Amino acid sequence: MAGHSQFKNIMHRKGAQDKKRAKIFNRIAREITVAVKTGGGDDPNSNPRLRLAIQNGRAENMPKDRIEGAIKKGMGPATGEDYDEIRYEGYGAGGVAIIVETMTNNKNRTASEVRSTFAKYGGNMGETGSVGFMFDRVALITYPADKASDEAMFEAALEAGADNCESDSETHIITCAQSAFGTVREALEEKFGEATTAKLTWQPQNTIPVTEEQATTLLKLIDILEDNDDVQEVIANFELDDATLQKLSA
């Protein structure tokens, strides 16, 4: 599947990103609050988006009281902190296409900060849709490698209706169509328990190789974007070979 190995690059980099617990908890709390406000209440059984947000919070060892606080905030009266979900698109070094998913209570601030970050690291922010056609909206589900053998997870994923499953020494990465998300997730959870990650994301239709210099600039751009409290996720369509990945991870 074109662009599939990009998920491996993303998951590999998450080790460093996951150390930023405060920012991760803030983002998940915001997602929980918005899920309650827009998804029809505080019952995870009848609010799939909330269920996923809580699940992702648990996977990150988010404190129970923090999760409950975010739910209560979503159920409470308007506080002037209503969030808009906005997608920004643009190009980075080497012509790499980048999608930036945000959740913000100040559109002007977020747009300005994202645009200036693109510019600072040799990129350009375009209009919505300028690069979106290069990506597909898909579901991403992950399990730790010790949950099942590569073959067992692959077979279970395909039987559940997933499009693909890739495994390495740390993670099983399952992808499926957005329309099959609920069915695949439930089938896998019935067999293997709660997933580490279960969410909708963007998958590049094709990836492009970049030089080490371009990769360094792109990773700086992505890191700064991810440090922004309004940014929920950053996806790009470049691919790093193992040698370059090892150098940049050293």
Domain boundaries, the chain: 5-75, 84-125+207-234+245-249, 134-204
CATH class of the domain at 5-75: mainly alpha
* Whole-prediction pTM: 0.81
Q: Which of 152, 165, 134, 199 is nearest to 8 (CA)?
A: 165
Cα separation, 168 vs 63, in Å, equals: 29
| pLDDT given for residue 1 in this prediction | 29
The answer to whether 31 touches 199, Cβ cutoff 8 Å, is: no
| pLDDT given for residue 244 in this prediction | 72
Give the largest CA-CA distance in the chain.
52
**Residue 117 identity:** T
Q: Which of 122, 96, 105, 102 is nearest to 114 (CA)?
A: 102
Q: Which residues 6+ apart lie within 8 Å of 177 measured at CB?
A: 138, 139, 163
Q: Which of 87, 86, 206 is nearest to 135 (CA)?
A: 206
| pLDDT given for residue 116 in this prediction | 97
Q: Which residues 6+ apart lie within 8 Å of 14 measured at CB?
A: none
Alpha helices by DSSP H, the chain: 5-17, 21-39, 48-59, 64-75, 107-120, 150-160, 181-192, 212-227, 242-249
**pLDDT tens digit at each of 250 positions of the chain:** 233 345 555 444 444 455 567 788 888 998 999 899 887 788 888 888 898 899 888 888 899 999 999 998 888 765 556 788 999 999 999 999 999 999 998 999 999 999 999 999 999 999 989 999 999 999 999 999 999 999 999 999 999 999 999 998 889 999 999 999 989 999 999 999 989 888 899 999 999 999 889 999 998 999 999 989 899 999 999 988 777 777 776 6
One fold for 5-75 and 134-204: no
CATH number attached to the domain at 84-125+207-234+245-249: 3.30.70.980
| pLDDT given for residue 12 in this prediction | 43
Count of CB atoms situated within 10 Å of the CB of 59: 15
**Strand duo 124-126 + 84-91: pairing:** antiparallel
- Looking at CATH, the fold of the domain delimited by 134-204 is given as Alpha-Beta Plaits (3.30.70)
Cα separation, 234 vs 179, in Å, equals: 22
Cα separation, 70 vs 85, in Å, equals: 17
| pLDDT given for residue 3 in this prediction | 37
